[in-house]
Homo-oligomer: A and B are copies of this chain.
């Protein structure tokens, strides 16, 4: 029976998640509120181990594997936070993890995966080539291939949606950066099931609009991806997350990389948290659609904090 994504499954997944992780803060910022003309709440997923929301999904996945599966290993492809999630969760559960990353992958993220004990294989130039290699290796070694939008991962990451609803039941708008789509799918299912009036807004960079185009046209559309925001740099959309988005997402905003960088500078200065570009896209979107948000409770998902030192340096200098 295929795994489904639902509020009930997300609640079940949260039991696995909280065995190893703690809820992250949902924090109100007066200084940001003034700028967007609404009540600005940041969901600090950057406070998780691995500094990103995805670790929730990895932990939920590993909790459900057999000893044999853990021993045979997990094979996945990633340019960043997904790979760290699988590597971290594999370490917690004493499982083998093999992560295929592009040859030019961010060295900091690679080092983090290795520090969790994962084997990192540099292969090809992009995610799709890595994905093919990981699939082949999994097949050859009887391991488990893990895709970035597997339902078990969506149910795990949905736990941050539960935390938002528990802490701020009067939330009006949730703005979520869309990479592969697991974050917005988990959050939107929780929020819409509890209160269909909550507005769910997705964000991508205008320099990588594949998910936005696919959502708008209700069909899978590939697009070039040249954004600085790795976390939303999806060139090839995923059918399972798109289908959930078609149902649950109310609006999809594109923001320019320049707007993202400007927003990120404000976020880092104001919150004294490292924030990665994908997360900053939510604040850039809030600034862009300010007139719609007046006086509302707006939650911006800080999906991660893994900005590269090079980008941080050019951002604040």
Residues of A at the B interface (CB closer than 8 Å) are 22-23, 25, 27, 29-31, 44, 46-47, 49, 51, 108, 111-112, 115-116, 268-269, 271-274, 305-307, 309, 312-313, 316-317
Partner of A25, one of B22, B108, B269, B313: B22
CB distance from A309 to the nearest CB of B (A): 6
Counted per complex, copies of this chain come to 2
Nearest chain B CB to A201 CB, angstrom units: 25
Choose one: B49, B108, B307, B313; the contact of A313 (CB below 8 Å).
B313
Report the bound CA distance from A47 to B27 in whole Å: 11
CB-CB under 8 A for A115 and B316, given A51-B272, A272-B305, A309-B269: no
Is there contact, CB below 8 Å, between B316 and A309? Answer: yes
Known: A313-B316, A316-B313. A307 touches B272 (CB 8 A): yes
Is B51's CB under 8 angstroms from A27's CB? no
How far is the CB of A202 from the nearest CB of chain B, in Å?
Answer: 24
Most chain B CB inside 10 Å of its own CB: which residue of A30, A272, A274: A272
B27 and A49 contacting across the interface, CB-CB below 8 Å: yes
B274–A272 touching, CB < 8 Å: yes
State A37–B39 Cα separation when bound (angstroms).
46
Roughly how many angstroms separate A85 CA and B49 CA in the complex, as a whole number?
26
Cα separation A27 to B273 with both chains bound (whole Å): 17
Nearest CB in chain B to that of A28: its residue: B49
Q: How distant is A50 from chain B, measured CB to nearest CB, in Å?
A: 9
Inside 8 A of A30's CB, which chain B residues have their CB? 115-116
Query: Chain B's nearest CB lies how many Å from the CB of A157?
Result: 19
CB-defined contacts of A27 to chain B, threshold 8 Å:
49
Q: Which residues of B contact A316 (CB under 8 A)?
A: 309, 312-313
Cα–Cα distance between A314 and B269 once the two chains are bound (Å): 15
